[in-house]
Copies of this chain bind each other. A is one copy, B any other.
């Protein structure tokens, strides 16, 4: 038996086929090519699935289930994407439409951050753990919390928005309407904003040269410049890591998960990210004198977490 997952993104539609050991044995990608109608995107999702199964040498009949990870908010029961801004989706009954094209009944839908958490829970650092959470530091901050095979989604399905918890009361404007969210301080987008502000205030910073201009700043810029000794960049990284540690400590004090994984592009920094975070959390978390501490790790699945997790949505209680 095989499992198929789709990671639907604003840039690419990627489908993957997993075997019973949750190894990816085939994949296919099609450009999302926005803007275009939902119907066309869904047709291409079906095409990507067919291609991925062909690449894996698997018959669609032998696929147990299909899982879809999508940006935005979902209604799992009706298989509807309620709203996804970057896809221009509003109340799209994606599961029904996929069923009509592929003639497969078992199709699951989940928010992409939750799907990525499910991937890491079943096929990565969460394997065999009772309680697990993942925090993805990307364009925004996504999160997923899973205990005993159950995803935290709340009674209305809108829970698990870990990025939209305020850590700086009345602080930076967040896209969600609040001010001072974890996302507004610790996402890659926030780091880029903080980096640009620091560059503006220090025309001598190495960050100018490393980035090659203000418009070319990305999440690597301050880390690279800090590594080469630039004091302004060091300050940016130091404060950014404080924000990340602050939000992670908050989540640990609430959930005390056995494992907490950090995902997203910023994870490419490896130990430059992980070690200072672990250090700060170990000093501050409420259970610091407990003999069992949350293990903080960098996501093991990288960009594939979303596809793998989507494929394994069928496993969730």
User: Which residues of A line the B interface, CB within 8 A?
Assistant: 129-131, 152-162, 164-171, 176-178, 185, 242-243, 246, 249-250, 253-258, 283-284, 286-288, 290-294
Asked whether B255 lies within 8 Å of A159 as measured between CB atoms, the reply is yes
- A167 contact from B159, B169, B249, Cβ within 8 A: B169
> Hey, which chain B residues are within 8 Å of A165, CB to CB?
165, 250, 253-254
A292–B82 Cα gap in the complex (Å)?
14
Question: Whole-angstrom distance from the CB of A203 to the nearest CB of chain B?
Answer: 28
Knowing that A160-B254, A167-B169 touch, tell me 7 more A-B residue pairs with CB under 8 angstroms: A153-B256, A156-B287, A156-B291, A162-B254, A164-B286, A167-B167, A176-B286
Asked whether A290 lies within 8 Å of B156 as measured between CB atoms, the reply is yes
A-B contact pairs, 12 of them (CB 8 A): A131-B155, A156-B287, A158-B286, A158-B287, A159-B253, A161-B286, A164-B286, A165-B165, A166-B246, A166-B249, A169-B243, A177-B288
Question: Whole-angstrom distance from the CB of A316 to the nearest CB of chain B?
Answer: 14
Asked whether B154 lies within 8 Å of A257 as measured between CB atoms, the reply is yes
Residue of B nearest to A287 (CB): B158
A130–B153 Cα gap in the complex (Å)?
12
> Hey, which chain B residues are within 8 Å of A243, CB to CB?
169
A246–B171 Cα gap in the complex (Å)?
12
> Hey, which chain B residues are within 8 Å of A291, CB to CB?
156
Asked whether A166 lies within 8 Å of B164 as measured between CB atoms, the reply is no
Asked whether B284 lies within 8 Å of A154 as measured between CB atoms, the reply is no
> Hey, which chain B residues are within 8 Å of A161, CB to CB?
253-254, 286
Asked whether B169 lies within 8 Å of A257 as measured between CB atoms, the reply is no
Asked whether A254 lies within 8 Å of B256 as measured between CB atoms, the reply is no
A292–B185 Cα gap in the complex (Å)?
29
A243–B161 Cα gap in the complex (Å)?
19
Residue of B nearest to A284 (CB): B178
A130–B131 Cα gap in the complex (Å)?
20
- A169 contact from B130, B162, B242, Cβ within 8 A: B242
Question: Whole-angstrom distance from the CB of A238 to the nearest CB of chain B?
Answer: 13
Residue of B nearest to A163 (CB): B253
4 smallest CB-CB distances across A and B, nearest first, come from A154-B256, A159-B256, A158-B287, A156-B292
Question: Whole-angstrom distance from the CB of A235 to the nearest CB of chain B?
Answer: 14
A293–B256 Cα gap in the complex (Å)?
26
A294–B255 Cα gap in the complex (Å)?
20
A246–B169 Cα gap in the complex (Å)?
7
> Hey, which chain B residues are within 8 Å of A253, CB to CB?
159, 161-162, 164-165
